Amino acid sequence: YRRIALARRPDGAATTEDFSFETDPMPEPGDGEVLVEVQWMSLDPYMRGRMDDAKSYAAPVEIGGTMTAQGVGRVIASKAEGLVEGDIVTGMTGWASHAVLSGKEVRKLDEGTPPSAVLGVLGMPGFTGWRGLHEYGRPKSGETLVVGAATGPVGSMVGQLAKAMGLRTIAIAGGAEKCRIATETFGFDAAIDHRAHDDARALRKAIAEAAPDGVDIYWENVGGKLLEAVLPLMNVHGRIPLCGAVAWYSGDVSETNLLPMAWRSILTKRLSVNGFIIFDHWDHYPAFLKDVAPRVAGGEINYLEDVAEGLENAPGAFIEMLKGGNTGKQVVKL
């Protein structure tokens, strides 16, 4: 079977040389295990963190170890109770053509669920948006929300849920095409191209114009100059669900330093800033599916997928995604 391993730890942005392609003998399932043929795999920003040897909420991938990923695939051999050949399951299959997993670590897909949606709109990223918005954003009708990486699976979920609750929603996205998608596909009231505003001051001016009543919720996906631009625009008692900071994942922290002034806003505005890791919240996943799955099926909540073809194209798609090369949830079709 084929797998993609971590060849070395990246210095700054990841490159294709940081990955290696390995071919190993086909693994066999032991008692309680299944062998899965992977059909879809997810590429997520958090994977860049797993490539570093830094202390985090999850252990790094070892050099030579298979890159981690959630996947969807078909059971082709089973020694696990309740699972038979042909079942379509999801689990942590890794960047690989096949995986042996414990029957307890995989979940059978519900009838009618599009397999790749389990990696995006109805999976971990969509759930992150839903849970974080309700728990930490505490949205109220009439308020204003700003979110970066707005056409991705997290940002687009946050934007659509907030809009449906009567908030004014402002997307920050990379490029004119993504801005068009943000308003047309995901219903944002305004979209701002962060690439067209090359410093935090210019970006702040553009956001201020789109948010005449200030910002009540800043959903933090990005960090960097967007964080600097938004913080001074926050209203008193604003909320900041701190979900991620993808602009800083590759270590390319910008030299412009408005951050001390910007962070002071947290103090003076008495803001609630909540860091959160979705792993702590899985007990709410059934409630998420109950709310969101029918709204996806009914077309009220839209989603986009960016499909890379073939395991061999996973590293390139991953590297591009961290720079904004993806439009929508990045998946790989094997």
Q: Assess 58 for contact with ligand NDP (CB under 6 A).
A: no
Q: Which residues contact 227 (CB under 8 A, 6 or more apart)?
A: 220, 245, 259, 262
- Give the E-state strand segments of 87-209 in sequence order: 88-91, 98-102, 107-108, 144-148, 168-173, 190-193
Map residues 188-227 to x or -, x wherever contact with ligand NDP holds by CB under 6 A.
Answer: ------x--------------------------xx-x-x-
> Which one of 173, 230, 271, 289 is in contact with ligand NDP (CB under 6 A)?
173
Q: Assess 236 for contact with ligand NDP (CB under 6 A).
A: no
Name the residue nearer to ligand NDP (CB basis): 106 or 321.
Answer: 321
Name the residue nearer to ligand NDP (CB basis): 29 or 126.
Answer: 126
Name the residue nearer to ligand NDP (CB basis): 61 or 77.
Answer: 61
Task: Report the half-sphere exposure of 334 (CA within 13 A, side-chain side).
Answer: 24
Of 194, 199, 185, the residue nearest 222 (C-alpha): 194
* Separation CA 83–CA 78 (nearest Å): 6
* Separation CA 208–CA 229 (nearest Å): 9
Q: How far is CA 17 from CA 21, 47, 249, 316, in A?
A: 10, 16, 18, 10
Q: Assess 159 for contact with ligand NDP (CB under 6 A).
A: no
Q: Which stretch binds ligand NDP (CB under 6 A): 28-36, 66-74, 206-214, 320-328?
A: 320-328
Confirm if 327 and 151 have CB atoms less than 8 A apart: yes
> Which one of 228, 244, 292, 293 is in contact with ligand NDP (CB under 6 A)?
244
Binding site for ligand NDP (CB under 6 A): 44-46, 124-125, 128, 148-149, 151-155, 173-174, 178, 194, 221-222, 224, 226, 243-244, 246-247, 276-278, 321, 324, 326, 329-330
